[in-house]
Amino acid sequence: MGYHWIVLFLLFFFVPLMVFVLRQAMSMLMPGFRQFRMESAVRKTGIGVNADIIYRSKTGMIDGENPVYRLTFKFVTREGIEVQSSLERALDMDGFIRYAPGNVVALKYDPTHPERIALYRHDRPLILGD
């Protein structure tokens, strides 16, 4: 009889608990993984442009002891279309100063979907010729 109760416990309590925990873990990991894949693709095939940081807001998440901020950028594509797009980044104190609203950064955008952007690894404003 004892064996029967253990099986019922595992079936009705432990298994649903593990499913819940795994779903929570996946919901935390998947957005970051998707953003990483999208940014990697944009870094390979994107077009470089200087962008203005127009807004920075705290998301409430923490990544490795650093708060995560949503940075909103404004830039003009080669076609002359003005685009606003956002990225989430964990910022230390240097990053907090570097990515302040009003600063200019270098990023790449996907020419087919300009709202998809990626920051350069060591971003400095680009010197673009005519």
Q: Does residue 76 sit within a domain? A: yes
Asked if residue 113 is part of any domain, the answer here is: yes
**Number of domains forming the structure of the chain:** 1
Domain of residue 64, CATH code: 2.40.50
Q: Is residue 70 part of a domain?
A: yes
Does residue 60 form part of some domain?
yes
Q: Which domain holds residue 78?
A: 35-119
29 domain residue, yes or no: no
Domain contains 73: yes
- Is residue 129 in a domain? no
Within 10 angstroms of residue 50's Cβ, the number of other Cβ atoms is 17
pLDDT along the chain (130 residues), means of 10: 71 83 76 78 90 93 87 94 92 91 93 90 59
Model confidence, pTM = 0.70
Q: For position 3, what pLDDT does the model report?
A: 67
Would you state the pLDDT for residue 123?
62
Burial of 128 (0-12, 13-18, 19+ CB in 10 A): exposed
β-pairing verdict for 104-109 and 82-90: unpaired
